[in-house]
């Protein structure tokens, strides 16, 4: 595995050459609220991003450094050592609806038979308004097939993103989730969303929060290496509450969606890296969370990067 580790470190070094915008970025507090677990389907990794100034930043989902070495991809759920019998559950009528569609892009809404929160969130595209979805899927057409690249769970504010599959794989897995906006906790972390709008022309989601304020998330770049999302907040979130967070899973180094954390300080090209469960807190102008060795859980799932934190509004 030495070659894979060296490749991962090389990736971090390449990431460490900051752009002009990144060089002027804020350093935000990254606080680790993770807890150990034996259940591979529990989001026990919780990295909280906090700043009273941050109003704009970039999120990237990038294929792991070892993606070219994957022979057998594994993405099936593993409920060993999992007891979810006490989780809250609200009943719904199952539903699937295509909200918007062109030859290149498609937005699909799904309602599950049950979900852990009972709230209903309106979704608007142009003059069309639909409600009651637990999952919004953004699909694009690439190489004669549909690829799902970005999803939002409106009822709890969780997002997931992934690049287009690499040349070596027909498909790649989702892994970590992220939250945008004033994060709160009720059993688990979530962001209360009042309503969602999608602008197909700019590939931008506009979200209004139940606590006030809002955010935009624009799909800036998408290829077979990464997906880049430009995020803007209408107002800063108070420093005692995360303005964004990463949620993921770690059981062991070889059974994790995130196993390592790397970060660099403001105006620095030096990276620090350590196991995610050993990490406590850091001031970071750029944060990487991912894996340097293949995992038997969501093997092809992307690493996540948060960077370009600024106080400038859109």
Segment 200-229, tens digit of pLDDT? 999 999 999 999 999 999 999 999 999 999
For residues 153-176, average pLDDT: 94
Q: What is the pLDDT of residue 58?
A: 98
Q: Using the predicted structure, report yes or no on whether residue 298 has a pLDDT greater than 70.
A: yes
Q: What is the pLDDT of residue 17?
A: 42
124-127's contacts with Cβ under 8 Å and 24+ in sequence apart are 124/195, 124/196, 124/197, 124/198, 125/99, 125/100, 125/197, 125/198, 125/200, 126/100
| Helical (H) or strand (E) element with 19 | none
For residues 228-252, average pLDDT: 96
Alpha carbon of residue 2 to chain centroid: 28
Segment 34-67, tens digit of pLDDT? 999 999 889 999 999 999 999 999 999 999 999 9
pLDDT tier, 97 (very low <50, low <70, confident <90, very high otherwise): very high
Q: What is the pLDDT of residue 236?
A: 93
Q: What is the pLDDT of residue 10?
A: 40
* pTM of the complete model: 0.90
Segment 267-284, tens digit of pLDDT? 889 999 999 999 999 999
Range of the domain at 250: 2-80+88-310
Segment 104-114, tens digit of pLDDT? 999 999 999 99
* Strand residues in 131-203 grouped as ranges (E): 135-142, 145-153, 158-161, 177-180, 184-186, 188-190, 193-199
CB-facing half-sphere around the CA of 53: CA atoms within 13 A: 11
CA dist 154 and 174 (Å) reads 18
For residues 129-133, average pLDDT: 97
Number of domain units in the chain: 1
For residues 235-255, average pLDDT: 95
């Amino acid at each position: 595995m030495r070659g894979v580790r060296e490749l991962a470190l090389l990736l971090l070094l390449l990431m460490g050459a900051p752009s002009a915008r990144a060089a002027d970025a804020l350093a935000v507090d990254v606080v680790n609220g993770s807890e150990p677990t034996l259940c591979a389907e529990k989001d026990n990794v919780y990295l909280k991003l906090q700043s009273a100034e941050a109003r704009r930043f970039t999120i990237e989902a990038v294929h792991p450094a070892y993606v070219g070495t994957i022979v057998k991809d594994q993405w099936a759920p593993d409920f060993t050592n999992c007891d979810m019998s006490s989780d809250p559950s609200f009943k719904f009528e199952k539903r699937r609806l295509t909200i918007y569609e062109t030859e290149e892009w498609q937005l699909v809404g799904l309602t599950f038979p049950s979900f852990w929160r009972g709230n209903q969130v309106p979704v608007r595209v142009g003059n069309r308004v639909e409600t009651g979805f637990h999952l919004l899927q953004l699909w694009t057409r690439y190489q004669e097939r549909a690829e799902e690249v970005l999803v939002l769970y409106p009822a709890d504010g969780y997002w997931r993103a992934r690049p287009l599959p690499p040349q070596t794989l027909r498909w790649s897995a989702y892994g970590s989730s992220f939250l945008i906006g004033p994060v709160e906790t009720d059993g688990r972390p979530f962001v209360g969303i009042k309503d969602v709008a999608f602008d197909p022309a700019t590939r931008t989601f506009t979200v209004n929060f139940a606590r006030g304020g809002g955010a935009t998330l624009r799909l800036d770049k998408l290829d077979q290496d990464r997906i880049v999302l430009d995020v803007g907040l209408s107002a800063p979130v108070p420093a005692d509450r995360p303005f964004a967070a990463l949620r993921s899973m770690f059981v062991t180094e070889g059974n994790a969606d995130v196993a390592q954390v790397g970060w660099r300080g403001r105006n620095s090209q030096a990276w620090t890296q350590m196991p995610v469960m050993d990490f406590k807190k850091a001031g970071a102008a750029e944060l990487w969370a991912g894996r340097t060795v293949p995992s038997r859980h969501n093997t092809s799932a992307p690493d996540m990067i948060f960077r370009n934190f600024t106080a400038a509004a859109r």
